[in-house]
Amino acid sequence: MEKQKTISKEVSYSGTGLHTGNNVSIKLKPATENTGIIFVRTDMPDKPKIKADISNVLTTVRGTTVGLDEKTSVHTVEHLLATLFTFGIDNLIIEMDSNEPPIADGSALPFVELIKKAGITELSAEKKCFNLKDAVVYKNGDVLITAIPSDKFHISCTIIYNHPLLKSQFLSLDITPEIFEKEIAPARTFCFDYEIEALKNKGLAKGGSLDNAVVIGEKKILTKLRFEDEFVRHKILDLIGDISLLGSSLKMEITAVKCGHKNNVEFAKKIASSGNTAQLSEHEKILWHIPDGKIIDINEIKATIPHRYPFLFIDKVILVEEAKRAVGIKNVSAGEFYFQGHFPEQPIMPGVLIVEAMAQTAAVLFLSKPELRNKKLAYFMSINNVKFRKPVFPGDILHLDVEVVKAKQTTGIVKGCGYVNGKPTTEAEFGFVLVDKP
Protein backbone atom coordinates (compact mmCIF):
# COMPACT_ATOMS: atom_id res chain seq x y z
CA MET A 1 0.00 0.00 0.00
CA GLU A 2 1.11 3.55 -0.71
CA LYS A 3 2.26 5.48 2.36
CA GLN A 4 1.26 8.93 3.57
CA LYS A 5 3.65 11.81 2.93
CA THR A 6 4.67 15.18 4.32
CA ILE A 7 7.43 17.65 3.44
CA SER A 8 10.99 17.13 4.64
CA LYS A 9 11.67 20.63 5.96
CA GLU A 10 9.95 23.92 6.66
CA VAL A 11 9.70 26.42 3.79
CA SER A 12 8.12 29.86 3.49
CA TYR A 13 6.74 32.17 0.84
CA SER A 14 5.35 35.72 0.82
CA GLY A 15 3.17 37.75 -1.50
CA THR A 16 -0.24 39.37 -1.99
CA GLY A 17 -3.68 37.76 -1.93
CA LEU A 18 -5.61 37.95 -5.20
CA HIS A 19 -8.98 38.98 -3.82
CA THR A 20 -8.19 40.49 -0.42
CA GLY A 21 -5.08 42.34 -1.57
CA ASN A 22 -3.52 41.58 1.81
CA ASN A 23 0.20 41.00 2.19
CA VAL A 24 0.74 37.49 3.54
CA SER A 25 3.55 35.18 4.54
CA ILE A 26 2.98 31.45 4.67
CA LYS A 27 5.08 28.75 6.30
CA LEU A 28 4.71 25.12 5.27
CA LYS A 29 5.71 22.79 8.09
CA PRO A 30 6.03 18.99 8.19
CA ALA A 31 3.22 17.19 10.02
CA THR A 32 2.82 13.73 11.47
CA GLU A 33 0.72 10.99 9.89
CA ASN A 34 -3.07 11.36 9.93
CA THR A 35 -2.84 15.10 10.56
CA GLY A 36 -4.27 16.14 7.20
CA ILE A 37 -3.76 19.55 5.60
CA ILE A 38 -4.22 22.18 8.31
CA PHE A 39 -4.29 25.96 7.85
CA VAL A 40 -3.28 27.93 10.96
CA ARG A 41 -4.24 31.61 11.15
CA THR A 42 -1.31 32.96 13.17
CA ASP A 43 -2.68 36.51 12.90
CA MET A 44 -5.75 35.67 14.99
CA PRO A 45 -6.12 35.10 18.75
CA ASP A 46 -5.55 31.46 19.76
CA LYS A 47 -4.22 30.76 16.25
CA PRO A 48 -7.29 28.82 15.02
CA LYS A 49 -6.80 25.72 12.88
CA ILE A 50 -8.82 25.06 9.73
CA LYS A 51 -8.70 21.66 8.10
CA ALA A 52 -8.75 21.50 4.30
CA ASP A 53 -11.91 19.40 4.09
CA ILE A 54 -14.99 19.45 1.90
CA SER A 55 -17.19 19.94 4.98
CA ASN A 56 -15.37 23.20 5.78
CA VAL A 57 -16.09 24.97 2.47
CA LEU A 58 -17.79 28.30 3.18
CA THR A 59 -18.01 30.01 -0.21
CA THR A 60 -17.02 29.42 -3.84
CA VAL A 61 -17.24 32.97 -5.20
CA ARG A 62 -14.31 33.41 -7.63
CA GLY A 63 -12.31 30.94 -5.57
CA THR A 64 -12.75 28.38 -2.82
CA THR A 65 -12.86 29.49 0.82
CA VAL A 66 -12.57 27.08 3.77
CA GLY A 67 -13.10 28.01 7.38
CA LEU A 68 -14.84 27.60 10.70
CA ASP A 69 -16.89 30.77 10.11
CA GLU A 70 -16.76 33.88 7.92
CA LYS A 71 -14.05 35.51 10.04
CA THR A 72 -12.02 32.38 10.73
CA SER A 73 -11.39 31.39 7.13
CA VAL A 74 -8.83 31.12 4.34
CA HIS A 75 -9.66 32.33 0.82
CA THR A 76 -8.57 31.08 -2.60
CA VAL A 77 -6.94 27.84 -1.45
CA GLU A 78 -7.32 25.87 -4.69
CA HIS A 79 -3.89 26.48 -6.31
CA LEU A 80 -1.94 25.49 -3.21
CA LEU A 81 -4.18 22.49 -2.51
CA ALA A 82 -3.94 21.25 -6.10
CA THR A 83 -0.15 21.23 -5.78
CA LEU A 84 -0.13 19.41 -2.45
CA PHE A 85 -2.62 16.84 -3.73
CA THR A 86 -0.74 16.10 -6.95
CA PHE A 87 2.57 15.67 -5.14
CA GLY A 88 0.92 13.33 -2.63
CA ILE A 89 1.26 15.53 0.45
CA ASP A 90 -1.25 14.18 2.97
CA ASN A 91 -0.08 15.94 6.11
CA LEU A 92 1.01 19.56 6.39
CA ILE A 93 0.75 22.58 8.67
CA ILE A 94 0.27 25.83 6.73
CA GLU A 95 0.83 28.86 8.94
CA MET A 96 -0.54 32.13 7.53
CA ASP A 97 -0.42 35.66 8.93
CA SER A 98 -3.41 36.74 6.81
CA ASN A 99 -6.49 35.19 5.24
CA GLU A 100 -5.42 34.33 1.68
CA PRO A 101 -2.37 32.56 0.22
CA PRO A 102 -0.19 34.62 -2.15
CA ILE A 103 -1.51 34.67 -5.71
CA ALA A 104 2.10 34.92 -6.97
CA ASP A 105 1.92 34.94 -10.78
CA GLY A 106 -1.64 33.58 -10.86
CA SER A 107 -0.56 29.97 -11.32
CA ALA A 108 0.46 27.05 -9.10
CA LEU A 109 4.03 26.96 -10.37
CA PRO A 110 5.51 28.87 -7.38
CA PHE A 111 3.93 26.31 -5.05
CA VAL A 112 5.42 23.46 -7.09
CA GLU A 113 8.83 25.05 -6.69
CA LEU A 114 8.18 25.48 -2.96
CA ILE A 115 7.35 21.78 -2.50
CA LYS A 116 10.40 20.71 -4.50
CA LYS A 117 12.54 22.95 -2.29
CA ALA A 118 11.05 21.41 0.86
CA GLY A 119 11.43 17.81 -0.30
CA ILE A 120 9.00 15.00 0.38
CA THR A 121 9.16 12.48 3.23
CA GLU A 122 7.27 9.19 3.36
CA LEU A 123 5.54 8.33 6.63
CA SER A 124 4.66 4.93 8.05
CA ALA A 125 0.84 5.11 7.91
CA GLU A 126 -1.07 3.96 4.86
CA LYS A 127 -2.47 6.59 2.52
CA LYS A 128 -6.23 6.97 2.35
CA CYS A 129 -7.38 6.20 -1.18
CA PHE A 130 -10.81 6.93 -2.63
CA ASN A 131 -11.55 4.13 -5.09
CA LEU A 132 -14.90 4.54 -6.83
CA LYS A 133 -17.12 1.48 -7.06
CA ASP A 134 -19.79 3.08 -9.25
CA ALA A 135 -20.10 6.04 -11.59
CA VAL A 136 -21.04 9.44 -10.13
CA VAL A 137 -22.89 11.97 -12.29
CA TYR A 138 -23.40 15.62 -11.34
CA LYS A 139 -25.53 17.92 -13.51
CA ASN A 140 -26.49 21.54 -12.94
CA GLY A 141 -28.03 23.23 -15.98
CA ASP A 142 -25.46 22.96 -18.76
CA VAL A 143 -22.71 21.92 -16.33
CA LEU A 144 -21.88 18.21 -16.37
CA ILE A 145 -19.20 16.48 -14.28
CA THR A 146 -18.87 12.71 -14.11
CA ALA A 147 -16.48 10.26 -12.47
CA ILE A 148 -15.99 6.58 -13.27
CA PRO A 149 -13.76 3.99 -11.56
CA SER A 150 -10.17 3.81 -12.79
CA ASP A 151 -6.75 2.64 -11.67
CA LYS A 152 -5.38 6.19 -12.09
CA PHE A 153 -6.43 9.83 -11.79
CA HIS A 154 -7.39 11.29 -15.16
CA ILE A 155 -9.25 14.48 -16.10
CA SER A 156 -10.93 15.43 -19.38
CA CYS A 157 -12.21 19.01 -19.38
CA THR A 158 -14.19 21.13 -21.83
CA ILE A 159 -14.81 24.87 -21.46
CA ILE A 160 -17.34 26.79 -23.57
CA TYR A 161 -17.56 30.60 -23.71
CA ASN A 162 -19.51 32.94 -25.97
CA HIS A 163 -16.60 35.26 -26.71
CA PRO A 164 -14.79 35.92 -30.00
CA LEU A 165 -11.37 35.30 -28.41
CA LEU A 166 -12.40 32.40 -26.17
CA LYS A 167 -14.96 29.91 -27.39
CA SER A 168 -14.30 26.22 -26.69
CA GLN A 169 -11.21 24.39 -25.44
CA PHE A 170 -10.67 20.72 -24.54
CA LEU A 171 -7.84 18.90 -22.79
CA SER A 172 -7.52 15.33 -21.50
CA LEU A 173 -4.57 14.02 -19.48
CA ASP A 174 -3.41 11.88 -16.60
CA ILE A 175 -2.65 13.83 -13.45
CA THR A 176 0.85 12.96 -12.24
CA PRO A 177 3.44 15.21 -10.59
CA GLU A 178 5.46 15.41 -13.80
CA ILE A 179 2.48 16.23 -16.03
CA PHE A 180 1.05 18.64 -13.47
CA GLU A 181 4.29 20.60 -13.20
CA LYS A 182 4.71 20.88 -16.96
CA GLU A 183 1.16 21.12 -18.31
CA ILE A 184 -1.15 22.40 -15.54
CA ALA A 185 0.71 24.30 -12.82
CA PRO A 186 1.90 27.16 -15.09
CA ALA A 187 -1.68 27.98 -16.23
CA ARG A 188 -2.82 31.29 -14.71
CA THR A 189 -6.16 32.51 -13.44
CA PHE A 190 -8.12 34.57 -15.94
CA CYS A 191 -11.03 36.97 -16.26
CA PHE A 192 -12.74 39.21 -18.82
CA ASP A 193 -11.99 42.93 -18.70
CA TYR A 194 -15.67 43.80 -18.21
CA GLU A 195 -15.72 41.71 -14.99
CA ILE A 196 -13.02 43.71 -13.22
CA GLU A 197 -15.16 46.64 -12.08
CA ALA A 198 -17.93 44.32 -10.83
CA LEU A 199 -15.39 42.22 -8.92
CA LYS A 200 -13.91 45.27 -7.24
CA ASN A 201 -17.40 46.52 -6.31
CA LYS A 202 -17.88 43.20 -4.50
CA GLY A 203 -14.60 43.68 -2.62
CA LEU A 204 -12.77 41.13 -4.78
CA ALA A 205 -9.68 41.21 -7.03
CA LYS A 206 -8.00 43.85 -4.83
CA GLY A 207 -4.64 42.21 -5.50
CA GLY A 208 -5.25 41.42 -9.15
CA SER A 209 -3.10 42.80 -11.96
CA LEU A 210 -1.74 41.89 -15.38
CA ASP A 211 1.20 40.34 -13.50
CA ASN A 212 -0.95 37.64 -11.89
CA ALA A 213 -3.95 37.15 -14.18
CA VAL A 214 -4.74 36.70 -17.85
CA VAL A 215 -7.18 39.46 -18.81
CA ILE A 216 -9.34 38.97 -21.92
CA GLY A 217 -10.43 42.15 -23.65
CA GLU A 218 -13.09 42.58 -26.30
CA LYS A 219 -10.62 42.53 -29.18
CA LYS A 220 -7.40 41.17 -27.70
CA ILE A 221 -5.96 39.23 -24.79
CA LEU A 222 -4.09 41.73 -22.66
CA THR A 223 -1.63 39.19 -21.26
CA LYS A 224 0.80 37.02 -23.22
CA LEU A 225 -0.35 33.41 -23.00
CA ARG A 226 1.86 30.54 -21.81
CA PHE A 227 -0.27 28.01 -23.70
CA GLU A 228 -2.72 28.52 -26.53
CA ASP A 229 -5.26 26.64 -24.37
CA GLU A 230 -4.15 28.11 -21.03
CA PHE A 231 -7.76 28.69 -19.99
CA VAL A 232 -8.85 25.05 -19.96
CA ARG A 233 -5.60 24.12 -18.24
CA HIS A 234 -6.37 26.55 -15.45
CA LYS A 235 -9.88 25.13 -15.10
CA ILE A 236 -8.30 21.70 -14.58
CA LEU A 237 -5.99 23.23 -11.95
CA ASP A 238 -8.99 24.62 -10.07
CA LEU A 239 -10.87 21.32 -10.35
CA ILE A 240 -7.93 19.39 -8.86
CA GLY A 241 -7.69 21.84 -5.97
CA ASP A 242 -11.40 21.71 -5.22
CA ILE A 243 -11.78 17.94 -5.40
CA SER A 244 -8.66 17.48 -3.24
CA LEU A 245 -10.88 18.59 -0.34
CA LEU A 246 -12.14 15.00 -0.27
CA GLY A 247 -8.88 14.38 1.59
CA SER A 248 -7.81 11.28 -0.28
CA SER A 249 -5.69 9.93 -3.05
CA LEU A 250 -8.18 9.65 -5.91
CA LYS A 251 -8.44 6.80 -8.40
CA MET A 252 -11.03 7.86 -10.96
CA GLU A 253 -11.53 9.29 -14.41
CA ILE A 254 -13.29 12.65 -14.37
CA THR A 255 -15.02 14.27 -17.33
CA ALA A 256 -16.04 17.90 -16.81
CA VAL A 257 -17.96 20.30 -19.05
CA LYS A 258 -18.17 23.98 -18.05
CA CYS A 259 -16.90 23.34 -14.54
CA GLY A 260 -16.21 26.02 -11.90
CA HIS A 261 -15.62 26.26 -8.16
CA LYS A 262 -19.26 26.02 -7.04
CA ASN A 263 -20.00 22.98 -9.19
CA ASN A 264 -16.63 21.38 -8.43
CA VAL A 265 -17.40 21.47 -4.72
CA GLU A 266 -20.95 20.19 -5.17
CA PHE A 267 -19.59 17.37 -7.34
CA ALA A 268 -17.06 16.46 -4.62
CA LYS A 269 -19.84 16.44 -2.03
CA LYS A 270 -21.85 14.10 -4.23
CA ILE A 271 -18.90 11.72 -4.43
CA ALA A 272 -18.53 11.87 -0.65
CA SER A 273 -22.20 10.97 -0.12
CA SER A 274 -22.58 8.55 -3.02
CA GLY A 275 -21.92 5.36 -1.10
CA ASN A 276 -18.55 4.92 -2.77
CA THR A 277 -16.47 4.11 0.27
CA ALA A 278 -12.91 5.30 0.58
CA GLN A 279 -10.19 3.07 1.95
CA LEU A 280 -9.53 4.35 5.45
CA SER A 281 -6.26 4.39 7.31
CA GLU A 282 -6.08 2.48 10.58
CA HIS A 283 -6.40 5.78 12.46
CA GLU A 284 -9.59 6.71 10.58
CA LYS A 285 -11.14 3.28 11.13
CA ILE A 286 -11.08 4.05 14.84
CA LEU A 287 -13.40 6.97 14.22
CA TRP A 288 -16.05 4.88 12.49
CA HIS A 289 -15.80 1.35 13.87
CA ILE A 290 -14.86 -0.33 17.11
CA PRO A 291 -11.10 -0.84 16.67
CA ASP A 292 -9.20 -3.96 17.49
CA GLY A 293 -7.87 -4.13 21.02
CA LYS A 294 -8.69 -5.23 24.52
CA ILE A 295 -12.17 -4.09 25.55
CA ILE A 296 -12.58 -2.79 29.09
CA ASP A 297 -16.25 -2.76 30.07
CA ILE A 298 -17.97 -0.53 32.61
CA ASN A 299 -17.35 -2.90 35.52
CA GLU A 300 -13.62 -3.07 34.82
CA ILE A 301 -13.55 0.72 34.36
CA LYS A 302 -14.99 1.11 37.87
CA ALA A 303 -12.36 -1.30 39.16
CA THR A 304 -9.63 0.79 37.53
CA ILE A 305 -10.52 4.43 38.23
CA PRO A 306 -12.39 5.91 41.23
CA HIS A 307 -15.00 7.90 39.26
CA ARG A 308 -18.67 7.13 39.87
CA TYR A 309 -22.06 8.54 38.88
CA PRO A 310 -22.70 11.37 38.28
CA PHE A 311 -19.05 11.97 37.33
CA LEU A 312 -18.22 8.86 35.32
CA PHE A 313 -18.35 9.84 31.65
CA ILE A 314 -17.20 6.76 29.75
CA ASP A 315 -19.05 3.50 29.08
CA LYS A 316 -16.30 1.47 27.45
CA VAL A 317 -12.58 1.73 26.67
CA ILE A 318 -10.66 -0.06 23.95
CA LEU A 319 -6.93 -0.42 24.58
CA VAL A 320 -5.57 -0.06 21.06
CA GLU A 321 -1.92 -0.04 22.11
CA GLU A 322 -0.85 -0.73 25.67
CA ALA A 323 0.29 2.39 27.55
CA LYS A 324 0.19 4.32 24.27
CA ARG A 325 -3.31 4.65 22.83
CA ALA A 326 -6.93 4.06 23.73
CA VAL A 327 -10.41 4.93 22.53
CA GLY A 328 -13.13 5.70 25.04
CA ILE A 329 -16.79 5.38 24.08
CA LYS A 330 -19.52 7.50 25.60
CA ASN A 331 -23.15 6.92 24.64
CA VAL A 332 -24.67 10.35 25.21
CA SER A 333 -28.14 9.79 26.67
CA ALA A 334 -30.95 12.34 26.77
CA GLY A 335 -31.26 11.46 30.45
CA GLU A 336 -27.81 12.85 31.41
CA PHE A 337 -28.22 15.04 34.49
CA TYR A 338 -26.41 18.05 33.01
CA PHE A 339 -28.90 18.46 30.16
CA GLN A 340 -31.41 19.81 32.69
CA GLY A 341 -29.47 23.06 32.78
CA HIS A 342 -27.17 22.88 29.70
CA PHE A 343 -29.49 23.80 28.04
CA PRO A 344 -33.19 22.98 28.57
CA GLU A 345 -34.25 24.25 25.12
CA GLN A 346 -31.11 23.10 23.28
CA PRO A 347 -29.32 20.28 25.15
CA ILE A 348 -25.57 20.22 24.43
CA MET A 349 -22.92 18.21 26.25
CA PRO A 350 -20.65 20.66 28.13
CA GLY A 351 -17.21 20.89 26.54
CA VAL A 352 -15.47 20.60 29.91
CA LEU A 353 -17.15 17.23 30.44
CA ILE A 354 -15.93 16.01 27.05
CA VAL A 355 -12.39 16.92 28.13
CA GLU A 356 -13.00 15.16 31.45
CA ALA A 357 -14.16 12.05 29.53
CA MET A 358 -10.89 12.15 27.55
CA ALA A 359 -8.96 12.34 30.79
CA GLN A 360 -10.88 9.39 32.23
CA THR A 361 -10.08 7.39 29.09
CA ALA A 362 -6.40 8.24 29.54
CA ALA A 363 -6.55 7.27 33.20
CA VAL A 364 -7.92 3.85 32.24
CA LEU A 365 -5.19 3.55 29.64
CA PHE A 366 -2.49 3.95 32.27
CA LEU A 367 -4.06 2.40 35.35
CA SER A 368 -5.19 -0.78 33.60
CA LYS A 369 -1.59 -1.99 33.77
CA PRO A 370 -1.52 -4.75 36.41
CA GLU A 371 1.35 -3.19 38.33
CA LEU A 372 -0.58 0.10 38.73
CA ARG A 373 -4.17 -1.03 39.24
CA ASN A 374 -5.51 -0.18 42.70
CA LYS A 375 -2.14 1.35 43.56
CA LYS A 376 -2.18 4.70 41.75
CA LEU A 377 -4.49 7.60 40.96
CA ALA A 378 -4.15 9.90 37.93
CA TYR A 379 -4.48 13.65 38.57
CA PHE A 380 -4.71 16.52 36.09
CA MET A 381 -1.66 18.79 36.04
CA SER A 382 -2.54 21.01 33.07
CA ILE A 383 -4.96 21.44 30.17
CA ASN A 384 -3.77 23.14 26.98
CA ASN A 385 -4.78 23.85 23.38
CA VAL A 386 -8.44 23.07 23.94
CA LYS A 387 -10.62 23.52 20.85
CA PHE A 388 -14.36 22.95 20.58
CA ARG A 389 -15.24 22.23 16.96
CA LYS A 390 -18.79 20.88 16.91
CA PRO A 391 -21.44 20.40 19.60
CA VAL A 392 -22.33 16.97 21.01
CA PHE A 393 -26.05 16.26 21.35
CA PRO A 394 -28.21 13.62 23.07
CA GLY A 395 -28.19 10.43 21.02
CA ASP A 396 -24.61 10.91 19.80
CA ILE A 397 -21.94 8.25 20.25
CA LEU A 398 -18.80 10.07 21.33
CA HIS A 399 -15.45 8.47 20.50
CA LEU A 400 -12.55 9.73 22.61
CA ASP A 401 -9.24 9.01 20.91
CA VAL A 402 -6.32 9.59 23.30
CA GLU A 403 -2.65 9.08 22.60
CA VAL A 404 0.40 9.53 24.82
CA VAL A 405 2.69 12.26 23.52
CA LYS A 406 5.28 12.05 26.27
CA ALA A 407 5.56 9.79 29.30
CA LYS A 408 7.95 9.45 32.21
CA GLN A 409 7.66 7.21 35.22
CA THR A 410 4.92 9.20 36.97
CA THR A 411 4.09 12.12 34.64
CA GLY A 412 3.21 12.61 31.03
CA ILE A 413 1.31 14.49 28.33
CA VAL A 414 -1.69 13.11 26.46
CA LYS A 415 -3.32 14.41 23.29
CA GLY A 416 -7.01 13.72 22.87
CA CYS A 417 -9.68 14.27 20.26
CA GLY A 418 -13.41 13.66 20.48
CA TYR A 419 -15.37 12.53 17.42
CA VAL A 420 -19.01 12.03 16.49
CA ASN A 421 -19.64 10.25 13.18
CA GLY A 422 -16.00 10.74 12.28
CA LYS A 423 -16.19 14.53 12.66
CA PRO A 424 -13.94 16.16 15.30
CA THR A 425 -15.84 17.83 18.13
CA THR A 426 -13.13 18.56 20.68
CA GLU A 427 -9.35 18.67 20.90
CA ALA A 428 -7.14 19.00 23.98
CA GLU A 429 -3.74 18.26 25.42
CA PHE A 430 -3.37 17.60 29.11
CA GLY A 431 -0.65 16.79 31.56
CA PHE A 432 -1.09 14.24 34.33
CA VAL A 433 0.69 12.84 37.32
CA LEU A 434 0.35 9.39 38.90
CA VAL A 435 0.25 9.41 42.70
CA ASP A 436 -0.01 6.66 45.27
CA LYS A 437 -3.56 5.68 46.12
CA PRO A 438 -4.39 6.35 49.80
Nearest one of 403, 294, 387 to 41, comparing CA atoms: 387
For residue 430, the surrounding DSSP H or E stretch is: strand 423-436
What gap in Å lies between CA 174 and CA 434, rounded to an integer?
Answer: 56
- List, in order, residues 6 or more apart from 271 with CB less than 8 Å away: 130, 132, 136, 147, 243, 246
399 assigned to active site: no
- Kindly list the distances between the CA atom of residue 351 and the CA atoms of 232, 348, 386, 417, 435, in Å, as whole numbers in the listed order: 47, 9, 9, 12, 26
Number of Cβ within 10 Å of residue 431's Cβ equals: 16
342 assigned to active site: yes
Nearest one of 403, 389, 379, 317 to 351, comparing CA atoms: 389
| Cβ contact 338:349 at 8 Å | yes
Sign of CA dihedral 76, 79, 80, 86: positive
Question: Catalytic pick from 261, 283, 307, 399?
Answer: 261
Enumerate the β-bridge partners of residue 148: 253
Sign of CA dihedral 228, 179, 135, 150: positive
Catalytic positions are: 261, 342
